Amino acid sequence: MFKIADATLAASFDAVMRQDDIGHGSPSDSMCMSEAWTGDLSNGLLCLGERARIMHGLDTSECGLLSMMRSYDAGDRGSILKLFEQAATRPSHFCYSTTIIGDSNLRRPVFCIGQSNGFDQNEGGKMHGVFIFPNFQCNTNGTTFGSSMTS
């Protein structure tokens, strides 16, 4: 799934992301793990939370888009890159889903929801969003394995 919409078509995530109770003891905690991320378009760096960094197989929380995408299914990388390129040119809301290919060819689904803004303040633009990692993984033949998330 690859979607992008103008920022005027949807409510801002800012109010939602400021709520203190998101991700703390909700029913979805048993089904998935989520973590916020940010991006600075003036220098091209993304900043992932610690769990998202680990899930993406990165050594540091700050990284470039291409470094983050190395763990993604190769067939999805071009579409995700195009999505980020579009969002980097105007205020937008966007989302994508793909799989992270891990050790032993295990595949873990990942969903990303994001927003770009800050183009009017001479900041060079900002992005922020959330990754959602369902609590299961699959091998290459589609067999589903149980939860392997760590808190």
Which range, of 3-7, 61-65, 132-136, 141-145, averages the lowest pLDDT?
A: 141-145
Superfamily of domain 2-7+33-145, CATH level 4: PAS domain (3.30.450.20)
Secondary structure class of 130 (helix, strand, coil): strand
* Residue 34 and residue 122 in contact, taking contact as beta carbons nearer than 8 Å: no
- What is the per-residue pLDDT across 102-145, written as a single tens digit (0 to 9) for each? 877 778 899 999 999 988 767 789 999 999 998 766 655 555 44
- Domain ranges in the chain are 2-7+33-145
pTM equals: 0.74
Rg, C-alpha atoms of the chain: 15
Secondary structure class of 119 (helix, strand, coil): coil
Residues 27-30: contacts with CB within 8 Å, 24+ apart? 30/135
pLDDT band at 61 (very low <50, low <70, confident <90, very high): very high
